[in-house]
Amino acid sequence: MKKTYLSFILFAVLFAACTDKFDDFNTDKKNPVIVEGNALFTSAQLSLADQISTPDFNYNIFKLWAQYWTPTINLEEANYDIQSRSVPDSTFKIYYLNVLEDLDEAARLITEETTDNQSEEINLQNRLYIIDLMMVYAYHHLVDIFGDIPYSESLDPEKVMPKYDDAFTIYQDLISMINTALTGLDDSEGSFGSADIIYGGDVAAWIKFGNSLKVKLGIIIADHDAGLAESAIESAVSGVFESNNDNALLYYLSSPPNSNPVYDMLILDGHQNLFVIANTIIDLMNGLGDPRREAYFTAVDTSTEWGIEKLAYVGGIYGETNAYDQYSHVSDPILEATFPGILLTYDEILFYLAEAAERGFSVGQTAEEYYNAAINASFEFWGISDVGSYLAKPAVAYATAQGNWNEKIGTQAYIAMYLRGLEGYTQWRRLDFPVFNIPPAIADYNEIPKRFTYPISEQWYNNENYTNAASAVGGDELTTRIFWDKN
Question: Each residue of 120-142: b (16+ CB within 10 Å) or e?
Answer: eebbbbbbbbbbbbbbbbbbbbb
DSSP 326: G
- DSSP strands (E only) in 183-263: 248-250
DSSP class of residue 334 equals G
Q: What are phi and psi of 118, to 5 degrees?
A: -65, -40
Instruction: Give the percent of the chain with pLDDT over 90.
Output: 90
pLDDT more than 70, % of the chain? 92
- Please give the Cα distance from 225 to 483 (Å, whole number): 10
Q: What 3-state DSSP class applies to 325? A: helix
Least confident piece of the model among 254-258, 399-403, 428-432 = 254-258
Summarised one tens digit per residue, pLDDT across range 105-114 is 999 999 999 9
Tell me what the mean pLDDT of segment 392-408 comes to: 98
User: What are the φ and ψ backbone dihedral angles of 192, each rounded to 5 degrees?
Assistant: -85, -15
Distance CA 210, CA 473 (A): 28
The upper half-sphere exposure of residue 441, i.e. CA atoms within 13 Å in the direction of its Cβ, equals 15
Radius of gyration of the chain (CA): 23
| Torsion, Cα of 379, 385, 389, 390 (10° steps) | -30
- What integer pLDDT is reported at residue 308 of this predicted model? 66
User: Quick one: 53 exposed, middle or buried, by C-beta within 10 A (0-12, 13-18, 19+)?
Assistant: buried
Spatial separation of the C-alpha atoms in residues 326 and 312, rounded to whole Å: 11
CA distance 238 to 257: 38
- Return the H-helix or E-strand segment holding 217: helix 203-220
Residue 172 has pLDDT above 60, yes or no: yes
Sequence-separated (6 or more) residues with CB below 8 Å from residue 244: 345, 346, 347, 377, 380, 381
Q: Give the pLDDT of residue 33.
A: 41
DSSP state at residue 192: S
C-beta separation of 313 from 300 below 8 A: yes
pLDDT at 300 over 50: yes
Residue 439 near residue 320 (C-beta atoms within 8 A): yes
pLDDT, residue 307, reads: 63
Mean pLDDT over residues 192-218, rounded? Answer: 98
Residue among 319, 283, 223 nearest 434 (CA): 283
The domain locations on the chain are 2-9+32-73+85-260+339-473
CB atoms within 10 A of CB 399: 7
- 250 neighbors 45 (Cβ within 8 angstroms): yes
Residue 227 near residue 325 (C-beta atoms within 8 A)? no
Asked, as a colleague might, if the bond just before 150 is cis with ω within 30 of 0, I would say no
pLDDT band at 445 (very low <50, low <70, confident <90, very high): very high
Mean pLDDT for all residues in the chain: 93
- pLDDT by residue (tens digit) across 224-261? 999 999 999 999 999 999 999 999 999 999 999 999 99
Query: For the whole model, what pTM was predicted?
Result: 0.92
What is the distance between the alpha carbons of residues 293 and 119, in angstroms, rounded to a whole number? 49
Q: Does 340 score more than 70 pLDDT?
A: yes
pLDDT at 310: 87
How many separate helices (H) and strands (E) can be counted in the chain? 19, 8
354 pLDDT exceeds 70?
yes
**Residue 451, C-beta contacts closer than 8 angstroms, at least 6 positions apart:** 145, 146, 147, 478, 480, 481, 482
* CATH for the stretch 2-9+32-73+85-260+339-473: 1.25.40.390
**pLDDT recorded at residue 487:** 78
Q: How confident is the model over 320-335, as pLDDT tens digits? A: 999 999 999 999 999 9
Q: What mean pLDDT comes out for the span 39-65? A: 97
Q: Is 474 helix (H, G, I), strand (E, B) or coil?
A: coil
Residues ≥6 apart with Cβ < 8 Å to 361: 229, 230, 233, 234
The answer to whether the beta carbons of residues 41 and 196 sit under 8 Å apart is yes
Element (H, E) at 301: strand 300-301
Rounded Cα distance between 192 and 200, Å, is 7
Is 273's pLDDT higher than 80?
Answer: yes
